[in-house]
Structure 1
Amino acid sequence: MVKNRHDPGREIPEISFAPPVGTPAGVEVLSLTELRHRVPGERLTAPQRPDFHHLITLTGGTLWHTVDFTAYALEPGSWLWVRPGQVQQWGDLTHADGTLILFRQDFLDPATAAGARTEDPHAPILRRPLPDDAQALRLAADHLAAEFHALGQLPLEIHTAALRHVLAVLVLRLAHLTGPVGSPAPDPDATYLRFRDAVEKDFARTRRVEDYAEALGYSARTLSRATLASAGLGAKEFIDRRVVLEAKRLLAHSDRTAARIADRLGFSSATHFSKYFHQRTGQTPIAFRDTIRGHAPSTTSTPR
């Protein structure tokens, strides 16, 4: 299912996708019971950064799952979507029944990936669908599981294509769930998407909105308007939140000094990094590290 790729120089264990022998490369469907039997509990509860997508849904019991310092409560019918690059930790699976769907970003066709916003690290993680949506999602998940376990009944290329199409139905429905008022959230515009991708690539190189504006061919004001409309915050705050998230990941899951983390994130000194972090979190880097290692995650989210 998965393969650890970790060496002493890495601060967070990276998990790469490794499909079962003989199955189509790029997707796997298994029950949480299978996962519990296959992977030791201490490996599941340790921080990990997968390079592939996780879709988790429960049919019975409850489960807490932590993604980037937020603990999410799953109940039957709710869905959790963990994207590549996010740091996750599994909770106790003893009393949880459900389905886990794993897939690589490149398994879906480009149009589906774009329509489902699979590359958006800011897309919703936890969803609790309304009854009609819940039934459609359950049908899609059951169909995907049946198709995955029907290996050998069709030529491999046809089997793979069928899996790709059924998974597309599932992720498109998940990405465009209607809210309580019955209207889908607006799609982000192209300006925001280009800015978002540039920040993901270069946040450790520059924190200046002007640098991104120049590289992308926009004004700083245009970037701020687009980011505010799509993400609900200005361009500068968007950049700062991404930097702080990576800083928190490195502080929580590595033993690197503040000076080494400062260098990794493009700060001129540990002092500059400490001031920047304190201004945006209310804690020094070392105080944050002590807090996060001494207590369970304190920020929680319940299904919605």
Structure 2
Amino acid sequence: MVPSGQLPPATRPDLPSPEIDILELGDLTPGAGQPRPVLLDDDLLILVTGGHGIVELDFHALPCRPGTLLRATPGQVLRCPARLDAIVLRWHADALHGLDVDPAAVPHHHQLTGEDEDAVINEVSQLVVDHRRHRDDPAVRALLRHQLAVLLIRLALLPGARDSERAPDDTDPQRTEAATFRRFCREVEAGYPYTRRVEDYAARLGCSVRTLTRACLAVTGRSAKQVVDERVALQARRLLAATDEPVARIGRQLGFPEPTNFGRFFTREVGVSPGAFRAARGRSPQRIVAPRRPGDPCTPAGRA
């Protein structure tokens, strides 16, 4: 049984390549009325083809119209309005194994225009056609994997997409701090359910708390402790919005044995109690929030 609020695995018995699936936007949030946020298990690439509306990704409201490209990653929560039409590519993590491609270099929210839009639409359309026409051919698995890799590489080359992916330069303090911040984010992603102590992350990275705090302040304007606490609060918001797990159990999963401690932490970070936040999860986003910078916050993809 698939837990409430989660997508079913990206496998269907009639498809030869369960690693890569083609969906419609309505398949992500089925049902009538205001769609509920969905906790994602797989990578998604969404190309809006019709309509205007707002897609909510990790609680950021993103404006969408034809040509809008969205990339979502496992662990994020997604809510899509019914008035949008889109092609959705969904793939398992191992679909790109052995291929020289980095999905993390793809922007999470981008409005395609001009030649870029034409090229991306052509590649997505060809992938969809091959997915449908060759479903009985065993060779389609390799074809789709390479088509997806080419598409992702093309998207990584979009203007501005790779600004945050430059290799660190030891002679440039800002770029060195950005590299430290990225390493810190990776450690936080692995360790946030177990510890919120910056000292523990500094020990794992072989640096001082002061170094981590300096890097976080340089990249985000927030301290290392704030970055850790925001990551924990984000996961709490995801689970409260997209699942029916009891509040106390969610707190325990995030390292709060006592529900009162979790309630105080959540209220401090989010501004409302866990119960109030969950009660409001079905409301439509009230305003558009611009996507954060690439290192901001520490999400599984490092971007939101």
**Do Structure 1 and Structure 2 share a fold, with TM-score over 0.5?**
yes
Asked if structure 2 preserves the Cα contact closer than 8 Å seen for 1:252 and 1:289, the reply is: yes
Q: 1:229 to 1:160 in 2, by over 3 A?
A: farther
Distance 1:104 1:19 in 2: 13
Q: Which residue of 2 aligns with 1:144?
A: 127
- Structure 1 residue 243 displacement after superposition: 0.7
Secondary structure at the aligned position of 1:127 is classed as strand
Distance 1:39 1:302 in 2: 23
Q: 1:48 to 1:31 in 2, by over 3 A?
A: closer
Letter in 2 for 1:209: V
Q: TM-score, normalised by structure 2?
A: 0.77
Identify which of structures 1 and 2 has the higher relative contact order when contacts are C-alpha pairs closer than 8 Å and 6+ apart: 2
Q: 1:117 to 1:302 in 2, by over 3 A?
A: closer
- Structure 1 residue 247 displacement after superposition: 1.6
Secondary structure at the aligned position of 2:89 is classed as strand
The equivalent position to 1:280 in structure 2, one of 269, 285, 288, is 269
Q: TM-score, normalised by structure 1?
A: 0.77
The equivalent position to 1:245 in structure 2, one of 217, 227, 234, is 234
Distance 2:290 2:30 in 1: 27
Distance 1:16 1:151 in 2: 22
Letter in 1 for 2:164: P
The equivalent position to 2:152 in structure 1, one of 163, 171, 181, is 171
Residue 56 of structure 2 corresponds to residue 73 of structure 1:
no
- Structure 1 residue 274 displacement after superposition: 2.8
- Structure 1 residue 176 displacement after superposition: 4.0
Letter in 1 for 2:158: L
Give the number of aligned pairs.
281
Q: Which residue of 1 aligns with 2:206?
A: 217
- Structure 1 residue 204 displacement after superposition: 1.6
Q: Which residue of 1 aligns with 2:104?
A: 117
Distance 2:150 2:211 in 1: 34
- Structure 1 residue 209 displacement after superposition: 1.4
Distance 1:202 1:272 in 2: 19
The equivalent position to 1:21 in structure 2, one of 9, 14, 21, is 14
Answer with 237-246 or 63-72: which moved more.
63-72
- Structure 1 residue 202 displacement after superposition: 1.6
Asked if structure 1 preserves the Cα contact closer than 8 Å seen for 2:58 and 2:76, the reply is: yes
- Structure 1 residue 172 displacement after superposition: 2.3
Distance 2:226 2:9 in 1: 31
Name the Cα RMSD after superposition: 3.3
Q: 1:26 to 1:254 in 2, by over 3 A?
A: closer
- Structure 1 residue 258 displacement after superposition: 4.4
Distance 2:31 2:23 in 1: 17
Q: 1:145 to 1:240 in 2, by over 3 A?
A: same
Q: 1:12 to 1:25 in 2, by over 3 A?
A: closer
Residue 285 of structure 2 corresponds to residue 297 of structure 1:
yes
Letter in 2 for 1:162: L
Deviation readout 1:88-147 (Å, 9 max, x if unpaired): 223214xx333111111210135545x3317xxxx8532113423222211221222222
Asked if structure 2 preserves the Cα contact closer than 8 Å seen for 1:19 and 1:26, the reply is: no
Letter in 2 for 1:57: L
Q: 1:228 to 1:109 in 2, by over 3 A?
A: farther
Distance 1:263 1:60 in 2: 42
Distance 1:274 1:245 in 2: 14
Asked if structure 1 preserves the Cα contact closer than 8 Å seen for 2:29 and 2:37, the reply is: no
Distance 1:86 1:195 in 2: 19
Q: 1:224 to 1:109 in 2, by over 3 A?
A: farther
Asked if structure 1 preserves the Cα contact closer than 8 Å seen for 2:22 and 2:128, the reply is: yes
